[in-house]
Structure 1
């Protein structure tokens, strides 16, 4: 019996990323719906969203990055089916880190990225510690529009590094508008850049803030109308 061979183009839809349309690189699967994308594509998408890019299912309300997993089996299949993909991707990675003078990470790149971006909270001794056992960070909240919004009496805050921009928006709304319900009317910025509602303080410090001498400086303003 002769072995029947399938052309690569017939299986392309199964081994390509729905975001970048290229072959899967560091294939990463969403555990809730089992849809797979390139790791870098999916992580970038989930910085601003909490749903699957393909089916739209909710992954997690505030921590979607905790519900994705590196799919080694799928990646092995892709590398076996696509000639020279693994070698070419390795060369691009080496060139990327060399140009920027950064040491190339050892081991699993997916685990390195996830570890750096978002750590799971430590086990708590009791349920009333209010995240005091988490890594703590200092932030300074300043008003961007003094003429239209009042400044906070207490600008320096110390809170968990796992707190999100949404937590800050609710705090500002309570102090500025006297109601937490108007938190959607508040924008939070870092270095003039609008921050996503699910961004954690730990992620903001790692990716947006370079001044380690003082607290993380954030600005708030009334939400801009589109």
Structure 2
């Protein structure tokens, strides 16, 4: 009973080593990068590691369950939640990975993709605030300047790879959208689309009648292989 009254006794510090098994890739034994989960068994790996493995195999590297006899790559999905957890747990990992990718493209003389630029913009203000401590935040002038700088750096995923999506209703129970074409970040998830549609149609529950099916709610739009849409077919959606 004494332990219940003492919060310090209820707090347990866990070393990163103790949870490494849950945030590392079984194939390369490194921390998860671009975490990708097998939908059949929910085991997670680095995307590049898993894709390379599935070029010659159709089973999960961990549990050996058959993902799909002929098209296993269609049954894996980007796990953004897991990747966010890994980046938050491992200090400096996200910044190091984004920098490495940027240097890779620059070395090849290629333009750095917009999503990598956006990630770097989002990471740097957060890391700078951690390194500088909370002293500056106590000063109202510094806090206001910091807020303005953060707002400038945060581009709200406008620098991400963009995709155009046509939302057409095939049910007589639901009315169609006024504007069926939208343009958004490829990092957006199916859950984001469900919430967007529910808001536009004034649905009380976005789980009802909207996007029911096999597609995972946390799957990002970049996981789906769509045919590119020409500008003549995709109308301007505005800002």
Write 1 or 2 for the structure with the bigger share of strand.
1
TM-score normalised per structure 2: 0.46
Write 1 or 2 for the structure with the bigger share of helix.
2
TM-score normalised per structure 1: 0.48
